[in-house]
Chain A
């Protein structure tokens, strides 16, 4: 949680929620878990305001709360990552469009707007919007929307929000099943699913069948009669960011393969990744490599269009395995050949390619040659660099020192004698890729913060 990260997080909060929520959020970011009183004192806001800000933050899953160990008060905390993810919302929406069409995009957008929502609420709002644009009958629209929603849940792009664990009862939860069980199913659909029906616009509300429970929670119609509880009360859904991240990672791997090998290999890779997702139990992003994918079972995942024969498939698999970037690794010989997608290697390759691109743009291609040389050879002396890269000595020295100044490479001195005489010590240059990546990440946060801040400034001055 660096200074730049916190700065970016506060700017994102301010952009989305205004300065009060931003003040509370920043305080929690900088000071860790605090209770209401501390927040109020630290931010200078009144308790009422702090409460509202916290509700907003919790609603959008930016803040977490838990009772203090003494049981006397509640501690609130904000995690930087969850705030930073807000910057990626457009990408999630675009990805839902790719995966689930326009309806999926609208669903995703609505849920991102609200933070978390009931299924019925979401379906209603999306169906409303679609009705306006498409002009189709409400029943059809709602059916389609519901199917898409269910599809997204099954694809694990939407997840249930965990109810807070309390000793007391969770109140009346109409759906009954998953909400009460101690093992809380993240992707379980409530049994009352079928009862959720979109009942048309408010104009048509009177004509509806009184048998159906109208599940719309219309704020406009907040009359004194009291609103009926929605059918799936208490079953909240939110976007499952991790799955989207997995999706992005897969896309990146496929495009990397496309560039390194060719289009057909990219198709093969995509089908392998799909197979891996289907087969893996634990779908976290931390897995190093996929479960072993046996060639004998790959046939069902391969696409129809580029019809690959047995031999072709074999060739491609071998090419991917032997490639320097190590996309696949051969695990097994049984079952026609068992391969595993090595996520870690892929990630490293992608990272390296990105860093190389940055070096190329920030310095020059000669610098890039030196950099790649160091990546391959790990540790080199200045003289060796000169020999291997075929660059004259003076130029090589300047390149190396410019890279050193920007912390892309590091220098280690190894003395030959007890007194550190410069003429008699080895100076070794090397590249530490993880630390370079972290550095660049920091600078990216700083750049992002600068951009957001600049935009806010421009908007203010040109109001």
Chain B
């Protein structure tokens, strides 16, 4: 083999071009274009075999293909949301699920890793502390999240990762602060265990392709601000206000005022992935563009509970 290396590697034809060459003639000019995409074939292939088994196989294949396309396994991009939540959304979804018996296929979570469950990343850091602690805890939250990178999917860490996803994408579900805080505490205790764990009743109730999780109230509880964060924290250069830029997941729909507040960097982070310290700075540059003082007042309501919400909302990490 090595002997032939300079000579065509077994694939080259040492005499190839010489067949038609006559001695004394100059060699033909080199071909500079790539070979044709569909070179003409001297021989046609055989006819397609059409035994009865083949027709049956074909029929089976077609059936299979059609079935798979209509099954719940063929994930389709969600329907385009109009931007506003409609009353009929709930019923359209119900109708669809009734007509198609496959829509509500439920996986048996014992056979899947825990992190794939829809509610599994709705964990929150139950951090305590009155408002003065707010700026530093925010920083702490951010930097510690950053440091952790892609960890904790299996939930085996002793410190529960403070990650929470506020999915505004799906049909405008709101975070119900009261229910979630309760849930999260129990969840955190539950989530300490290994992957195959299925424990929490709350999580079990979630239908796999649920759109509406918590109760929808017409009153947006997360928008009340008692002005505590406005004007008092100029010393903190990294301060970004109640809604942290990178904290929301950008959904398919563009609704909600919350997302208006976000800076563009957030979108990249939401789609992109791991947060580390670098992302924060990129967000910071754009913050001034979008922030306006009045939005500091658009914040959360009742004092203690809402401060928690603020912290929770801020501490979202998009990627586990």
Tier of interface size on chain B: 35 or more
For B118, give its contact among A48, A59, A171 (CB under 8 Å). A48
Whether a CB of chain A sits under 8 angstroms from the CB of B150 is yes
Q: Mark A21-51, 1 if CB is under 8 A from B, else 0.
A: 1000000000000011110110010111101
- The chain A residue sitting closest to B198, CB to CB, is A171
Pairwise interchain contact B68-A407, C-beta atoms closer than 8 A: no
A74 lies within 8 A of chain B by Cβ: yes
CA distance A60 to B14 in the complex (A): 51
A90 CB contacts on chain B under 8 angstroms? 57-58, 60-61, 64
Question: Once the chains bind, are B113 and A422 in contact (CB under 8 Å)?
Answer: no
Q: Please, which residue of chain B has its CB at the minimum distance from the CB of A407?
A: B11
**How does the 8 Å CB contact mask read for A1-24 relative to B, with 1 for contact and 0 for none?**
000000000000001111011000
Q: Does B77 contact A (CB under 8 A)?
A: yes
Residue of A nearest to B45 (CB): A361
Query: Are B73 and A91 interface neighbours, CB within 8 A?
Result: no
| Contact yes or no, B67 A74, CB < 8 A | no
Given A67-B195, A164-B111, A411:B153 Cβ within 8 A: no
Complex CA distance for A38 and B116, rounded to whole angstroms:
14
Report how far A233 CA is from B198 CA in the complex, Å: 14
Given the known interface contacts A40-B273, A58-B112, the answer about A49 and B107 at a Cβ–Cβ threshold of 8 Å is no
Binds B, one of A190-198, A321-329, A343-351, A412-420: A412-420
Q: Point out the residue from B75, B113, B118, B271 that lies within 8 Å of A164, measured CB to CB.
A: B113
CA distance in complex: A74, B111 (Å): 14
What distance in Å separates the Cβ of B313 from its nearest Cβ neighbour in chain A? 17
A424 to chain B, nearest CB (A): 13
Interface centre among B63, B152, B153 (most CB of A within 10 A): B153
Q: A36-B153, A40-B319, A412-B1 are in contact. Are A164 and B73 (CB under 8 A)?
A: no
Contacts of A20 in B (CB 8 A): 75-77
**Residue B34 at the A interface, CB < 8 A?**
no
Q: Is the CB of B61 within 8 A of A89?
A: yes
Closest Cβ of chain B to A433, distance in Å, is: 15
Q: Does A167 contact B (CB under 8 A)?
A: yes
A362 near B43: Cβ-Cβ < 8 Å: yes
Q: How far is the CA of A15 from the CA of B251 in the complex (A)?
A: 26
Cβ proximity bits B5-17 to A, threshold 8 Å, 1 near / 0 not: 0011011011110
**In the complex, chain A residues whose CB is within 8 Å of the CB of B165:** 47
Residues of A within 8 A of B60 (CB): 89-90, 93-94, 109
Say yes or no: is A222 at the interface (Cβ < 8 Å to chain B): yes
> When A20-B75, A60-B73, A219-B103 are in contact, do A415 and B150 touch as well, CB less than 8 Å?
no
The complex places the Cα of A82 from the Cα of B196 at a distance, in Å, of: 24
Contact status A236-B108, CB under 8 Å: yes
By Cβ-Cβ distance, the 7 closest A-B pairs, closest first, are A41-B273, A73-B153, A166-B196, A37-B319, A72-B151, A90-B60, A168-B194
Please list the residues of chain A having a beta carbon within 8 angstroms of any beta carbon in chain B: 15-18, 20-21, 35-38, 40-41, 44, 46-49, 51-56, 58-60, 65, 67, 71-74, 89-91, 93-94, 109, 112-113, 115-116, 161, 163-164, 166-168, 170-171, 218-220, 222, 233-234, 236, 361-364, 397-398, 401, 404-405, 407, 410-415, 420, 422, 427
Cross-chain pairs A/B with CB under 8 angstroms, 7 sampled: A36-B115, A52-B75, A72-B150, A109-B63, A219-B103, A233-B108, A361-B43
